[in-house]
C-alpha cells in the first residue's frame, strides 16, 4: 500500500494531547518508529504505558536548547529521521487586544511559532541530506480566518502558514515535502476549555456557545483527532510524495470563527 509507513522514523512534538496521542496511535499501529515529547510528565508516562515501543521525553519546547537536545538525541537513536510533526501549541488568552499582556503574546509565539522554527532548524538538514522526508505543521482554521478575542493564537497560526510556505520552497529541491494541517473544532478537552473561556468572556452558557460554534461548521460536527492522524499518515507515506506547500483544512468547512 502506498500509504504504508512501516519503518518510518517520526518525531512528533506535544504527543500527550488529543491530536498527539491520535497520531502516535495511528503511526505505531502502522509500524512506524515514534519519538515524542511533552511538557507533562504525567502525559509522557501515560504514553510510555500505552505505547511501550516509543521514545518519550518530558521537555518544554519553548526552551530552544532543551528541544534541540531532544531532537538530536532522537535522530541519533533512530539512526536518521523521515518525518517531523510539529504539533506543539497553546491556546493563549481570550481577551480584547487592549487586555492582552505582552508577556502572554510573546509566550504564545514562543511555543506556537518559535518552537516549530527550532524543530525545523534541527531536523530539515538531515532530511535534505537523505533527499527525502516530510515536515508537517499543525496550524488551525484560525490560520486562515480571523478569530476575535484570540488575536495571539490566530496570529501565531497564520505565522505557521508563512513558515510552511517558505520552507516548502526552500527545501523542495532537496526532496523535502512541507505542509500544514488546519484543523477546525477538534473534539477533545482542549476545545472544551476554549469554548468555556469564550462562553465566560461573552457571558453565555457553555451549551449555547458550543451550539454557536458548530453552527459555523457546514457539516455541523467536530473533527475527531483520528481523522487528523489519518491525514498525517497519508502525508508521511509515499502516497503524499507530490503534496507540498499546502494548507490542508480538516474542519467540516469552517465558514467563520467568532
Alpha helix locations (H) across the chain?
18-29, 41-50, 64-78, 102-109, 115-130, 151-171, 189-201, 206-215, 225-236
153 belongs to the catalytic site: yes
Task: Quote the cell numbers at residue 60.
Answer: 518544554
For residues 216-250, one letter each, b for 16 or more C-beta atoms within 10 angstroms of the residue's C-beta and e for the rest, the string is bbeeeebbebebbbbbbbbbbbeebeeebebbbbb
Q: Which of 203, 194, 254, 249 is nearest to 227 (CA)?
A: 249
Question: How is residue 80 written as a grid cell?
Answer: 536518521
What CA–CA distance (Å, rounded) separates 200 from 195? Answer: 9
Beta-bridge mates of residue 166: none
Which is the catalytic residue, given 78, 153, 158, 213?
Answer: 153
Q: DSSP string spanning 37-65?
A: EES-HHHHHHHHHH-TTSEEEE--TTSHH
Write phi, then psi, for 214 (nearest 5 degrees).
-70, -25
Catalytic residue numbers read 153
Amino acid at each position: 500500500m502506498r500509504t504504508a509507513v512501516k519503518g518510518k522514523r517520526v518525531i512528533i512534538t506535544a504527543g500527550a494531547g488529543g491530536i498527539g496521542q491520535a497520531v502516535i496511535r495511528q503511526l505505531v499501529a502502522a509500524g512506524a518508529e515514534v519519538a515524542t515529547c511533552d511538557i507533562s510528565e504525567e502525559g509522557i508516562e501515560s504514553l510510555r504505558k500505552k505505547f511501550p515501543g516509543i521514545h518519550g521525553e518530558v521537555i518544554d519546547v519553548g526552551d530552544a536548547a532543551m528541544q534541540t537536545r531532544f531532537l538530536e538525541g532522537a535522530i541519533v537513536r533512530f539512526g536518521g529521521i523521515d518525518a517531523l510533526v510539529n504539533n506543539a501549541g497553546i491556546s493563549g488568552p481570550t481577551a480584547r487586544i487592549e487586555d492582552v499582556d505582552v508577556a502572554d503574546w510573546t509566550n504564545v509565539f514562543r511555543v506556537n511559532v518559535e518552537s516549530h522554527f527550532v524543530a525545523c532548524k534541527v531536523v530539515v538538514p538531515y532530511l535534505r541530506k537523505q533527499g527525502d522526508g516530510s515536515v508537517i505543521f499543525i496550524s488551525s482554521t484560525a490560520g486562515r480566518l480571523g478569530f476575535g478575542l484570540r488575536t495571539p493564537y490566530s496570529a501565531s497560526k497564520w505565522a505557521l502558514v508563512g513558515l510552511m510556505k517558505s520552507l516548502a520552497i526552500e527545501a523542495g529541491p532537496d526532496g523535502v515535502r512541507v505542509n500544514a494541517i488546519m484543523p477546525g473544532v477538534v473534539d477533545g478537552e482542549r476545545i472544551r476549555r476554549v469554548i468555556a473561556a469564550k462562553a465566560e468572556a461573552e457571558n453565555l452558557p457553555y451549551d449555547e456557545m458550543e451550539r454557536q460554534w458548530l453552527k459555523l461548521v457546514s457539516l455541523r460536527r467536530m473533527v475527531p483527532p483520528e481523522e487528523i492522524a489519518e491525514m498525517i499518515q497519508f502525508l508521511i507515506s509515499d502516497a503524499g510524495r507530490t503534496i507540498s506547500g499546502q494548507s490542508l483544512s480538516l474542519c467540516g468547512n469552517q465558514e467563520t470563527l467568532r
